[in-house]
Structure formats: C-alpha cells, structure tokens
Amino acid sequence: MKKVLLSWSSGKDSAWVLHQLQQDPAIEVVALVTSFNQEARRVAMHAERRELVEAQAEAAGLPLWAVDLPWPCTNAGYEERMSALWQRAVKEGIQAVAFGDLFLEDIRAYRLRQLAPYPLEPLFPAWGIPTAKLARDMISSGIRARLTCVDPRQIPRELAGREFDAALLNDLPATADPCGENGEFHTFVHEAPCFQHPIPTTPGITVERDGFLFFDLTP
C-alpha cells in the first residue's frame, strides 16, 4: 500500500479527500498535517481552534502532524518548517502527499515546487471536478460543516456560521464558487464518513478582522 500524508485544513475539501482515499485499497493514509499559528493556537489559514483539529484527527483515527508557525511568519520561515516536515515524511517511509485543491493552478504549482526536491508524489484527488457537482456530492456523502470564515466582499456576511448544505448553496450569489475555492468562505467539518463520531462544537461569537468574518467554534 502507498503511504500517504494528507494536508488537512479542517474543512470540507480535506474531509472529502480523506473519504475518497480511504476507499482506495492501494492507499493508506498515515497522518494528517496542519499548520498552526502557535501564538493563537489556531489553524494558520482558517483560524479554527487547535483543540478542534485535534478532535478531528482523533475522530479520524489518525495522528496529527502539527506545523507550528510563529506570528508573524515570513514565507521563508513557513517553507523552512515545511521542508523539515517533508524530510520527516521521507524518513518515515511516506511516499505521497495529498491535497484538497480543486482548480487554482497557482496553488497547485506551488505545491509541486514544494515537493520537487523530495521523493514524495503529489496527489490531487478532487482536482478538476466541477465544483457545483462536488459541493452536492460532499453533502450527500454525509459531510457536515459550518462556514467559519467568510469574505463579505464576495458573499453575504450573514452566511458566517451557516451549515454547508443544500440551502446554503441555493443562497450563494451566482458569482460565488459553490465550494468557496476562490476564498469566498472556509469551513470546519464536524461530521463526516471518515470520522468515527461527530465533533461536538459550541457556536461562539463572530469577529471581523482584516476584512474577513470569523465565526468562532469552541469544543
């Protein structure tokens, strides 16, 4: 079996990729990797609490490889820490790294450049799937998620905190990508077919920072 490390954002795309990979008898997902703002103890990009991501990993039955980033963190500092992670993966016999990217070519190219110096195969299981179909397939598979970060310049601010479901898809503007791939929104998955049990969460307050709305969830 091919040993695979999965880049884990805490959102629906990562959960979908894990669900897909676990159905492939030739693949063994051995760990999840997430970068955290070490000062805030939150996911570096999505801002979910570290405790919630640890709960996701426990529910998935997989170890969490945390990449702790200082704040602020330069791109050089980020790449230095990721390089150490890729070296660890190679030493532990991991053969591939999977990502939940959907269609952004510049992000994919960056991933490829990151992994180029290492004998690690990049995998993009969700790449190129029409996102209108993908969003509904995610929902029908049993993935349950909340919008925890919203860009009010792209979608209505009142969608912060909403469940990612068919009703939400109907309420998105026609200009918005159904999966939020252009940064319209980010999600936190609290239930999924790849989890052994749901993740208990308590809705908190919504905070506006740097032009984005963050809907806080607590364990």
Same domain, 167 and 59: no
pLDDT tens figures, 68-86: 999 889 999 999 999 999 9
Question: Do 146 and 108 belong to one domain?
Answer: no
Residue at which a domain ends, from 96, 123, 150 = 123
Give mean pLDDT, residues 34-45: 92
* Percentage of the chain lying above the pLDDT 90 cut: 96
* CA gap 178, 135 in Å, rounded: 6
Specify the higher pLDDT residue, 182 or 45: 182
Q: Which of 63, 92, 123 is the last residue of a domain?
A: 123
* Containing structural domain, residue 185: 131-218
| pLDDT at site 118 | 98
pLDDT of res. 45: 76
Residue 118 backbone dihedrals phi, psi, to 5 degrees: -120, 150
Q: Residue 46's pLDDT band (boundaries 50, 70, 90)?
A: confident
Please indicate, yes or no, whether residues 113 and 186 belong to a single structural domain of this protein: no
Q: Does residue 44 carry a pLDDT above 90?
A: no
* Shared domain check, 90 and 106: yes
- Asked if 100 contacts 66 with a C-beta cutoff of 8 angstroms, the reply is no
Q: Read off the CATH number of the domain in which 70 is found.
A: 3.40.50.620
User: Are 94 and 135 found together in one domain?
Assistant: no
Domain count within the chain: 2
- Could you give the percent of the chain with pLDDT greater than 70? 100
- Over residues 195-204, mean pLDDT: 97
Same domain for 44 and 79:
yes
Residue 51: its pLDDT value, please?
97
Same domain membership, residue 74 and residue 101: yes
Residues 111 and 165 in one domain: no
pLDDT, tens digit, 9 for 90 and up, residues 130-188: 999 999 999 999 999 999 999 999 999 999 999 999 999 999 999 999 999 999 999 99
Whether 91 and 172 map to the same domain: the answer is: no
Q: Under DSSP, is residue 7 helix (H, G, I), strand (E, B) or coil?
A: strand
Co-location of 182 and 76 in the same domain: no
Axis-axis angle for helices 75-91, 105-115 (nearest 10): 60
Domain end: 94, 123, 152, which one?
123
Task: Note the Cα 214 to chain centre separation in Å.
Answer: 16
42 with 119, same domain?
yes
What are the residues facing 10 on neighbouring strands? none
Decide: residue 184, CB within 10 A, 0-12 exposed, 13-18 middle, 19+ buried.
buried
**Same domain for 135 and 117?**
no
